[in-house]
Amino acid sequence: MADRDEAAVFKLRVDKVLSRFVAQESDQLLAIDADLGPVADQVETAVSDGKRLRAAFCYWGWRAAGQPDSDALVRAAASMELVHAAAVVHDDIIDDSAVRHGRPTTHVALEAALCGRPRATATARALAMLVGDWLMSLAGQLFATSGLPAGYLARARPLWAALARELIAGECLELLHTGGEPDTAQSLKVIRYKTAKYTVEQPLLIGGALAGAGHQLREGYSRYGLPLGEAFQLRDDLLGLFGDPALTGKANTDDLHAHRPTALLAETWRLADETDRQRLRALLGRREVGTPGLEEVREVMSRLNAPDRIEQMITARVEEATRSLDDLDIPAPASRALTGLAHAAAVRRR
């Protein structure tokens, strides 16, 4: 119970940092012109929800290196959530997703705000892209103005370049392989670069760099972070098709109509015979898959035990991540927190 309470308190601290920072930035945007109201609203909405896992991994990367609690570090860690918000906005545009967190996605909400104007759809997508760009810029600003010493920030700066490069690489690889024949190895590579690194590994490494963590500890962070980050996205793949939309806040058909190269689809394809592959070809990539199409894909996947295979992959990666903590000489509170975060990231319903 104490660990859950501590996690809830940390989330509230991050939420407060983000809401105040983004509200101040939105006010400055509105001071330029009141017509920017819909853009400002969507920037604030983009950071209003989240598990704050990325901030938590950054925080515990700092604490595991022996540093004490710090409000300045919480501000720096909160910048990881702005990176995530930017990635989500861009991802929803790319995939043409309509719902996120149970609300219209940024480009959909902006289109509604522009109702009646010429070229509302195209303008809304362009504005949403700029919202994502601004969120990424704000992430760097919040990090730089966190209040940590300049020398600490300088140690972490190269990792920011790596985070952005790898995130973009993952997004590009997903686009380049969307619509092609599913391949599990390629899907796992996309997962690693699109999600695993910026969700777990890079926040941990950035927190460690800020704290002055040594080479051995940083290597340990990667041994923990990479498999756990992959488990996080594998769980997302399962929830995307089999989860409860009331909990996930997303449509179950998103991955199907986008024909995303998920590991779940790749494993299904690997196990399928030609008859099942023909059924999948007829459904994947269709804009309106509908409930019958969704159920048909679920039937094929379940009959071939593909979801069970993904569950096994998740379990193996979580066990690998948590075992790696045994080899790290870190304070007991940090070890408990990272163990708890491993289960929070991979064993969830949303």
pLDDT score of 210: 98
pLDDT at 48: 95
**CB-CB neighbours of 215 under 10 Å:** 7
Contacts of 161 (CB under 8 A, 6+ apart): none
Give me the CATH topology for the region 2-346: Farnesyl Diphosphate Synthase (1.10.600)
Local structure of residue 65 (DSSP, 8 states): T
pLDDT along the chain (350 residues), means of 10: 80 98 98 98 96 97 98 98 97 92 96 94 98 98 98 96 96 91 94 95 98 97 98 95 91 82 94 95 81 92 97 97 95 96 91
Predicted pLDDT of residue 74 = 98
> How many CA atoms are closer than 13 Å to the CA of 185, on its beta-carbon side?
0
Q: What is the pLDDT of residue 1?
A: 41
Tell me if the pTM is above 0.75. Answer: yes
Q: Domain extents for the chain? A: 2-346
Nearest-angstrom CA–CA distance, 19 and 269 = 43
| Model pLDDT, residue 2 | 54
Maximum Cα interatomic distance, the chain, rounded to a whole number of Å: 62
Helix 290-303 and helix 263-271: axis angle, to 10°?
60
Closest CA to 311 of 223, 238, 227, 244: 238
Kindly state the DSSP code that residue 102 receives in the 8-state scheme.
T
Among 45, 157, 145, 33, smallest CA distance to 100 is for 45
Structure-token pair, residue 216 = 């051995």
